[in-house]
Structure 1
Amino acid sequence: MSSQSRRGVRTASALGAASLGLVALSACEQPSPMVTATVGGDSVSTEAACYDDGKAIPQDEVRKCLGKKADETVSVSTGDKLRIGVDPKTADDGWLVLVDGKPALSEPLNKTYYSFQGEVFFQQSSASGQPSAPKKSVQVTVVQTSGGDFNGIWHLNLKNSKK
């Protein structure tokens, strides 16, 4: 066999191996969509605490996922706007925002991002309903929802950086 023939065989073998590698990679599970929180020029992104390619998460798993702690933190001061961005598929299904496990909005959002005033996350009331000292930090949970099911859960910490 000539050196050109051997080179052709090696090239064909390398191309075949690369093609098989791409096929194998395409069969791998895709990463979950990200949720991004932006304040001014600072952004943090987080992967889902629970996500199964947009399928409904079983109820017992939902409870576990809602109890998980956030890995990412963003600082927000009173006058800042917090922008939360989600994947287009999450926006199409609809998403909720929970603050320390309680709904922040009454209806699901269907936009890829939404802006909030920073101070709304840290306000709290005493047992008598009177305003009390603002919280120092909260956990914000974004929930992808569809037909009453939870399809994805993401967590972020917000730190009150009072200005």
Structure 2
Amino acid sequence: MATVELRFSALPEHVRTARLVAAAVARRAGVDEAVLDEVRLAVGEACSRAVGLHESHDITSPVRVLLIEDEKKFSIEVGDGVTGDSGTAPGGGEAVSAPESDAEGEDEMGLAVISGLVDDVEVTVGEEGGLIRMTWPTTTTAAVLP
């Protein structure tokens, strides 16, 4: 299992770099060439969402991206620093004030776009922050460099 870790300041201009790195690593891992645009778009959406959450919650920690190559699958995890108690009320209900409702709408739209692009998506929020895990199958004919 090979893993690439990328951390970047929560600034919109870094999202493009994350997309490019994700596509390159996905290609190397054996993700079908026809799916690489979806990988790029999904990673861009997940990273943009994380940047927006960091900005709206005044979080200074970096956005985390893990690119995980397993034997038959390739996963990307995009983590933000927004913990379960930062914007979610106990029981899963959103504790959002009126000014934050626009940000919430954009957040929901971003998750809908990701769900439309990726068949295997998991969204969680824990003590260390939120995490979007996206997984794609790899082909068995992936080139192995000597």
TM-score (norm. length: structure 1)? 0.25
Greater helix share, structure number: 2
Give 1 or 2 for the bigger CA radius of gyration: 1
TM-score (norm. length: structure 2)? 0.27
